Amino acid sequence: MKALITGGAGFIGSHLAEELLEQGHEVYLIDDLSTGSIENIEHLKNRKGFNYTIDTILNPSITAELVDKCDVVFHLAAAVGVMLIVESPVRTIETNIKGTEAILLHANKKKKKVIIASTSEVYGKSDQKSFREDGDLILGPTTKSRWSYACSKAIDEFLALAYWKEKNLPVVVIRLFNIVGPRQTGRYGMVIPRFVKQALLNHPITVFGDGKQSRCFSHVKDTVRALVKLSRTDEAVGEVINIGSDDEISIEELAKRIKTLTKSKSKIQYIPYSDAYEEGFEDMMRRVPDLGKIKKLIGHKSKHSLDDILKDVIEYYKSR
């Protein structure tokens, strides 16, 4: 199989490239390095079957050529991270919608399968006990830039599914829930790398809000393994599928666990959302995926616990 990964020099993209190469597939990736890093793929440059292009997917001639070469496209290129979303809403909306539109347009010419990376953010302020793919999406007002990312990714989903229904383009929409592991940066608000770096430096571990909000974290290696399986599963075409873990932990407890694992002297410091992001910032109190569909489709089960994830991230930052 020949696979194209957009955003391939990013955190998830670089791990996906590794997984595909290990399985004997040929990999092409494209990244404009706006949030990805050449350092993430440095170790892959001499691997047989690895090819990379530093450019934007909005360059039509380059993207068309890469899509034509491949059997499947993993579309991961996007603006990511709450901090970036709040600070650069125009970039967030344009990058996500225009980028997805470009990939679908080129893929449709020769009906290449597209795996679209969406996000748990699209569930918005839903109060479901666990988020099912067919559940309602409840977003906040357009005056809160926090919701621009969720809205742009929801549009990506609508567009991808429209290509499937109207043009018969094989697409799979994946909603990712808090994927974590080595190479993830805390620069744009990702909580675990940010906490780990603070703890290792004995700086205050900064918890936004009261810390009672809860999340479920999944190891990137479990995630990319599932992505590859789903790309080969015909029953997944035309579906929206959650990927993540349902092992729930509060952000406050997460900070305490990281402090313990790193043997840090850091204090845990609580910062109001208005100071961390913007006045009137809204957050989800719980975000837990229903994993029934992915288990039925590919028998997916996480191999890594939360402690495994934290230890891997801690070792990664210690080595740096």
Residues designated catalytic: 149
- Structure-token match 């599963």, residue found: 233
Residue 203: HSE in the Cβ half-sphere, 13 Å Cα cutoff: 9
CA 108 to chain centroid: 24
Length of the chain: 320
For 88, the 3-state DSSP assignment is coil
For 270, the 3-state DSSP assignment is strand
Q: Which residues of 260-276 are buried (b: 16+ CB within 10 A; e: fewer)?
A: eebebebebeeeebeeb
- Find out whether 190 and 215 touch, Cβ atoms under 8 Å: no
Contacts of residue 239, defined as CB under 8 A and 6 or more positions apart, other chains included, come to: 133, 172, 173, 293, 297
| Bridge-based pairing state of the strands 214-216 and 286-287 | parallel
